[in-house]
Amino acid sequence: MEKQGSVYILGSETKVLYVGVTSDLQKRIYEHKNHLVPGFTDRYNVTKLLYYETGGDMYSTIEREKQIKGWLRKKKLELIETQNPYYKDLAEDWYED
């Protein structure tokens, strides 16, 4: 059975955006929030889940990620606003303190 994928967009307090893909959204967002993986999101403190789509196989999910990454910032912001017009952290209450 194929793994289900998720495409997500993270943001930072300084308005940096990051588009990613994963087969385990909750685990991956936890890793970003806790700076467990060195790289772009860790360096720029990009930890706020602003948008996500879940569904489809990993192949189609990766294709969707590439599509979104190719968009201009304005179009990415418009996509975020379809699900999250106030730019709240959608994963704010996913984890216990």
pLDDT tens digits for range 40-96: 999 999 999 999 999 889 999 999 999 999 999 999 999 999 999 999 999 999 987
36: DSSP letter: -
Please tell me the distance from the alpha carbon of residue 6 to that of residue 58, in angstroms, as a whole number: 8
- Could you say which of 2.40.110.10, 3.40.50.720, 3.40.1440.10, 3.30.420.40 is the CATH number of the domain covering 4-83? 3.40.1440.10
Please tell me the distance from the alpha carbon of residue 43 to that of residue 52, in angstroms, as a whole number: 22
β-pair type (17-22, 48-57): unpaired
pLDDT, tens digit, 9 for 90 and up, residues 13-33: 999 999 999 999 999 999 999
Please tell me the distance from the alpha carbon of residue 57 to that of residue 53, in angstroms, as a whole number: 12
Question: Domain-by-domain residue ranges, the chain?
Answer: 4-83
